[in-house]
Amino acid sequence: MDDLATLTTSGTERLRDAPDLDALHEAEADLLGKKGELASLKKRLSGLDPDERRATGQALNEARTVLEEAAAERRAALESVAHQARLLAERQDLTEIVEHRRRGSLHLVTQTWDRLVDVFVGMGFEVAEGPEVETDWHNFEALNIPSAHPARGMWDTLYVDLGAPESTLLRTHTSPVQIRVMSEGEPPFYSVMPGRVFRRDTADASHMPVFHQIEGLVVDRGVSFADLAGTLEAFTTAYFGGAIHSRLRPSYFPFTEPSAEYDINCVFCEGSGCRTCAQTGWLELGGCGMVHPNVLTNVGLDPEQWSGFAFGFGLDRLALMRHGVDDIREMYTGDVRFLEQFPA
Ligand code: FA5
């Protein structure tokens, strides 16, 4: 029993002091292994009388438990140290030196696109997109503009050399996406459709041959012109703030009847008249109107049941007006001194 007590004390100490996992393993073998010190004490049990043997056997078991617990405790501690050491050794320094790097930002057109979509989604619209290379049917025919119709002259079209002559083109406006939305889904429709469009226009302060529009389409039961006017005024306040108002001026588009131009107060002179607004106090941003019954019929909707309105705004011009820029070409020359004024 004395030898057992000594072994328990010294063994526990040896295990607790093991400097590493190898030393711990060795100590465990010496103390608890098949040929270890505890095993050799156990062999001596046979020389004892039955009572002593039982008591000593029990003490041996208790000593084993104490030693095993000490070993487990030490192993956990050593493994945790080893783990920390490995993490430290495998650590990679991913710090970037950023002080001298210039950060890019979203282009003003992209920012405007996102902002417009946010405003309309907030008003309950869904977002749809269509292809930039379109068929004559979607871009003109279905929009109530048959070939040889004089209204085709409103859009100087770039044709693509594909299929029958003049059957495929670069879309001249986002209105063909209206046709796609209505042909592919079921009414009611509340959609906005931003996208890039192409025309044979010469670049000047307010025109580019490649520019952007955002189309809007609402088709439901009992939609009226008052809904169109109210929606556009709500949009104007949400996008430009309370100081700017909209007006609708009679106009003509083959796919809407009645049709109107959507104008806002000139943001440069606030309505008093200047060069940019040609002294009118108003700036034209896009067209709109009630969806023509022929267009509804072309996509298989009954104009007696469904009515709606549509609008198409120049997205680039919306960007210019919101930021008080008076030349659209500024946005496309890629001059960083201009672009970096609009961080996003
Ligand atoms: C249209 O393109 C019609 N699809 C709009 C529409 C949609 C009317 C739905 C009714 C219902 P318009 O050609 O006027 O209409 O063009 C609309 C707007 O696009 C213009 O008011 C202007 O803001 C912008 N825009 C037109 N041409 C250019 C251009 N070359 N560069 C930049 N913006 C342009």
- Rounded distance from Cα 160 to ligand 1 centre (Å): 21
The whole-number average pLDDT for the span 261-278 is 88
Query: Using CA positions, which residue lies closest to atom 17 of ligand 1?
Result: 286
Is it the case that residue 316 has pLDDT exceeding 90? Answer: yes
pLDDT score at 284: 92
- Rounded distance from Cα 121 to ligand 1 centre (Å): 22
Dig out the tokens for 9 from the structure.
Answer: 């004390």
- Rounded distance from Cα 57 to ligand 1 centre (Å): 99
Residues with CB under 6 A from ligand 1: 173, 175, 199, 201, 207-208, 211, 213, 215, 253, 256, 259, 284-289, 310-312, 314, 316-317, 328
pLDDT in tens, 284-312: 999 999 999 999 999 999 999 999 999 99
Is it the case that residue 264 has pLDDT exceeding 90? Answer: yes
Looking from the CA of residue 199, the nearest atom of ligand 1 is: 30
pLDDT score at 344: 80
* 322 CA to centre of own chain: 23
pLDDT score at 231: 97
Confidence bin at 330 (pLDDT 50/70/90): very high
Site to substitute for ligand 1 among 172, 173, 251, most atoms within 8 A of C-beta: 173
pLDDT score at 137: 96
Site to substitute for ligand 1 among 139, 170, 211, most atoms within 8 A of C-beta: 211
The structural architecture, per CATH, of the domain 108-339 is: 2-Layer Sandwich (3.30)
pTM, two decimals, is 0.73
- Rounded distance from Cα 118 to ligand 1 centre (Å): 21
pLDDT score at 271: 83
- Rounded distance from Cα 261 to ligand 1 centre (Å): 10
Query: Using CA positions, which residue lies closest to atom 20 of ligand 1?
Result: 286
The mean of the pLDDT values for the chain is 93
pLDDT in tens, 223-245: 999 999 999 999 999 999 988 88
Site to substitute for ligand 1 among 108, 175, 261, 332, most atoms within 8 A of C-beta: 175
Confidence bin at 47 (pLDDT 50/70/90): confident
Is it the case that residue 160 has pLDDT exceeding 90? Answer: yes
Question: How far is the C-alpha of 320 from the C-alpha of 279, rounded, in Å?
Answer: 18
Is it the case that residue 152 has pLDDT exceeding 90? Answer: no
Is it the case that residue 26 has pLDDT exceeding 90? Answer: yes
Query: Using CA positions, which residue lies closest to atom 26 of ligand 1?
Result: 314
Looking from the CA of residue 217, the nearest atom of ligand 1 is: 9
* Domain ranges, ordered by start, for the chain: 2-90, 108-339
pLDDT score at 93: 86
Is it the case that residue 97 has pLDDT exceeding 80? Answer: no
Query: Using CA positions, which residue lies closest to atom 30 of ligand 1?
Result: 207
Sign for the pseudo-dihedral over CA of 113, 202, 165, 296? positive
pLDDT in tens, 173-196: 999 999 999 999 999 999 999 999
Is it the case that residue 217 has pLDDT exceeding 80? Answer: yes
Question: Which of 86-90, 200-204, 292-296 reaches the highest mean pLDDT?
Answer: 292-296
The whole-number average pLDDT for the span 12-32 is 93
Confidence bin at 30 (pLDDT 50/70/90): very high
pLDDT score at 254: 96
